Chains A and B, each alone.
Chain A
Amino acid sequence: MTTTHDFTSLYDARALEYALAVVFLALFVVLWRALEAPPREAVAVRRAGWFSLPEGVRLHPGHAWARLEADGLVSVGLDDFGHKLIGPLRDVQLPVPGTALGQGRPAFRLAADGASLPVLAPVSGVVAQVNELGRRAPGRLHADPYGTGWLLKLRPHRGLQANLKQLLSGELARLHMERAAERLAASLTPELGALAADGGAPVHGFARELDPDGWERLARQFLLTDDVKDGGES
């Protein structure tokens, strides 16, 4: 009498389970990579004192930035200093596409902690696109102020070159940012002075931390919009 053992059929169920485990591990790598690396517009970031400032970005003294894109449009946003000054944004009021903006005139408004702060346009032009992230998740803009945190894309006027000459770039821009930080440290000690001496960095929303009651006025001074009336764009 002979007995036959069919070992392969005995392990059918197990084979499926092992295969599932292998597929799981392989797909888990894909999932992990997908979650770890959200697509972002790559921007080479350099630092100016406490604040980031990438190459190719021009600054308006009111802390808006402008960058000439390959498609001829000009991207506009709020610089890192501005974001850290104001802190978490509750809302962003952007002009609708087609609106004409003038350099140095109010371009958009940022709402944070009950205050509505106007920001000046760095260049003149007609609004071509607005960043939906600004409406959908304003609190996310600060994470990448010069990349995914752009706010407007403008179709510039003919006088773009003259406009750009009014803006700060390269070493001057860096100097402007550092000066702003120094001005802050000098005028608003002891809090920030102590912090600077410790080698720390300003917290997100430092205007509020420094002056809880008058922070809106302070923020407007840095944004150069302390004479802009609420409701109307002066």
Chain B
Amino acid sequence: MSDTLALRPALRPWLREKLLLGRGLRDYLRGFANPADLFTLLVLAVGLPILVARFAFGLGAVTNLSQQTPWGLWIGFDMLCGIALAAGGFSLAAAVHLFGLRAYEPVVKPAILTGFLGYLFAVFGLLADLGQPWRVWYPIAVSFGTTSVMFEVGWCVFLYTLVLFLEFSPALFDWLGLRRWGRALARLTVFLTVAGVMLSTLHQSSLGALFLLAPERLHPLWYSEFLPVFFFVSAIAAGLSMVILESSLAERLFRDRLGRAPHDLDQLVLGLGRGAAVVLFAYFFLRLQGLARGGRFDLLSGTWGGWYLLELVGFVLVPCLLFVAGVRADDASRVRFAAALTVVGVVLGRLNVSIIAFDWAAPVRYVPSWMEVAVSVTLVTLAVQCYRFVVNRMEILGRTA
């Protein structure tokens, strides 16, 4: 008891320093009185009660999911898109720690943080979607469905989220004043990076393999035996594009958190754009291969064909060419625009496979309810707020040692 009392005077300034950035509570809260933060509060005020309702009254109360359509927006967007957009973590870590591209070191920590938050919130989305979320750990410890793709995805996502946490944790331990722990973990960097590449290769592709199990339900233009390869390759393009967008936004929004001598971000953006151009180019031709293997060119003329071509040309080929043009003109703005198009394209591609072109011939189509959309928006908002919380406190954007 007396220990607790003795701790109190020391704890308060520590909490104030760490959580409130050294300001008083009232002063700290006053910092949120701006349009962007008020909008965030509005989103949370709508979304969080819906999440509570989902757990209190079940999936049927807030979603349009059914026995025929058990996977909706929370799988198609939160899970599939969240995981794909978080692929920048393993791509950048591999580039710097395995391939020796040290110039990209300033963007590795932000990429790993984005990756970690992407996976964490994808898992939150999954928890909302699972009929019995309290059994989420069953594939890990209780029931081993070793012949199921889902078992492999479950294990990989679990392990890789852990790997991302360990990769991110040196910054966390530094912040908490446990520098020795941070240094010990930093020594595992190469091991963690190798594990990250292996696990990502496995589950990014397995998420595509899930749809191999339903050949008759997915539109023939999107169904391909190469779906696992499509998912893996497009995830790398999405990851690189997210790093371009996220580092550019962070440089504007968190200027005071940058190192004393800011690195030349435009040059890094052009380099990442060069990589993304190559990946998108390969992805475009892989998709053409899938089309050739399916042999259903006749379907390209209809409405579905138009939609397919819009995705393939408008959001794969066009951003690829824009990346090339941006790199050639030394124009980082054009590369950023191409990155935004790529992100939209990968999201559209995932939604096409999981929702839009899935059960395409069913008499009753699934359309997400507004509450499903609100929960997805809430999860993205929470992820952005977590990013902001971490970046404002830990050494993520600053100069690396």
Residues of A at the B interface (CB closer than 8 Å) are 13, 16-17, 20-21, 23-24, 27-28, 31-32, 34-35, 38-39, 87-88, 90, 113, 133, 136-137, 139-140, 142-143, 148, 204-205, 208-209, 212
Contact = CB atoms under 8 A, between A and B. Distances in A.
A205 B259 CA distance: 13
Contact of B285 (A20, A39, A209): A20
Given A32-B278, A35-B327, A204-B264, 8 more contacts: A17-B293, A28-B281, A35-B274, A136-B331, A136-B332, A139-B267, A143-B267, A208-B261
B261 A209 contact: yes
Interface residues of B, number: 28
Nearest to B285: A24
A208 B260 CA distance: 9
A78 to B, nearest CB: 15
Contacts of B274: 35
Contact of B332 (A16, A27, A137, A143): A137
B187 interface: no
Grouping DSSP codes into helix (H, G, I), strand (E, B) and loop, the B interface class, with mixed when no group exceeds half, is helix
Contact of B324 (A31, A133, A212): A31
Given A20-B292, A208-B260, A208-B261, A38 B277 contact: no
Contacts of A208: 260-261
B324 A34 contact: yes
B224 to A, nearest CB: 12
Contacts of B329: 38
B342 to A, nearest CB: 16
30 contacts: A13-B295, A20-B288, A21-B289, A24-B282, A24-B285, A27-B281, A28-B282, A31-B277, A31-B278, A31-B324, A34-B324, A35-B274, A35-B278, A38-B329, A88-B262, A90-B262, A113-B260, A113-B262, A136-B331, A136-B333, A137-B330, A137-B331, A137-B332, A139-B264, A140-B267, A140-B332, A142-B264, A143-B267, A209-B261, A212-B260
- 10 residue pairs, one from A and one from B, having the closest CB atoms: A24-B285, A139-B266, A139-B264, A16-B292, A137-B266, A38-B328, A88-B264, A17-B292, A35-B274, A140-B330
